[in-house]
Amino acid sequence: MTEPVSTQWIDIAPGFAGYLALPPARSGPGLLLFQEIFGVNPHIRAVAEQYALDGFVVLAPDVFWRQAPRIELGYVGDERQRGMQIAQSLQPAEVLADIHAALAALRARPEAAGRKAGTLGYCMGGRLAYLAAASTDVDAAVPFYGGGIHTMLDRAAAIRCPVQFHYAEHDDHIPLDAVERVRQAMAGKSAEVHVYAGAQHGFNCWARASYQAAAAARSHGRATAFLAQQLF
């Protein structure tokens, strides 16, 4: 029996790769999936496959390709510190260039050609999804607990696509007053802001102590419905 989801690493640019997951139909709208600080690790690859099962052509670019290509890190201790160090070394201009390159590569795939494309990301990747919405022509964006978005609200004016934000009620990195600032900055735009009661930062990741199944399930349902409405 053919596997429902087909996966492979593809080249986006010389040295810059991404994890591609194709849906059962082997074609569909594009979805650019941005990693956390832990690389395109087993969780992010599983999320790519999860959304591929939902019908999207998913590309998860290796954001750390310049610093530590294809690195996969755990969530605690030295590996967490390593991820933080790499993330802090990223250069904004290079990150924006990589966002544009990854989106172009996704749109150029025959499986997604001529279709709409959106973006989704978690933590650092949530911030990158927000930046993609503000700096590219993506058709929809879904940032999950995007760290630092509330410090980049001057970019909100440039956003033209619908955006769906997901936040935890108890997030040591993103206090609720920061969430409220995001909500206010997006007022008047096509935007949703969802806050999950009792949840902590990283609630979607089943490999983390902060995983909350109820919040993960509800947010995935909302995100899938939103992306289906905007991209299909």
Specify the pLDDT at position 129: 98
Please give the share of the chain, as a percent, with pLDDT higher than 90: 98
Which residues share a beta bridge with 200? Answer: 170
Report CA Rg, the chain.
16
The answer on pLDDT for 1 being more than 90 is: no
- Going along the chain from its start, the domains and CATH numbers come out as 6-231 (3.40.50.1820)
Binned at pLDDT 50, 70 and 90, residue 121 comes out as very high
Query: Mean pLDDT across the stretch 114-133?
Result: 98
Q: Using CA of residue 191, residue 219, residue 143, residue 100, what is the dihedral sign?
A: negative
Cα-based angle 127, 46, 83 (whole degrees, multiple of 5) = 45
Query: Mean pLDDT across the stretch 178-197?
Result: 97
d(CA 6, CA 28): 13
Mean confidence (pLDDT) of the chain: 97
Residue 87: CA count within 13 A, CB half-sphere: 20
The answer on pLDDT for 3 being more than 80 is: yes
Mapping DSSP onto H, E and C, the string for 65-129 reads CCCCCCCECCCCHHHHHHHHHHHHHCCHHHHHHHHHHHHHHHHHCCCCCCCCEEEEEECHHHHHH
Query: Mean pLDDT across the stretch 20-35?
Result: 98
Query: Mean pLDDT across the stretch 139-143?
Result: 98
Query: Mean pLDDT across the stretch 79-108?
Result: 97
Specify the pLDDT at position 2: 82
pLDDT in tens, 47-63: 999 999 999 999 999 99
Contact 114, 120 (CB under 8 A): no
Query: Mean pLDDT across the stretch 165-193?
Result: 97
Quote the DSSP letter at residue 44. Answer: H
Contact 192, 226 (CB under 8 A): yes
The answer on pLDDT for 106 being more than 80 is: yes
Assigned token pair, 76: 């605690």
- Give catalytic residues, as residue numbers: 123, 171, 201
The SS3 call for residue 62 is coil
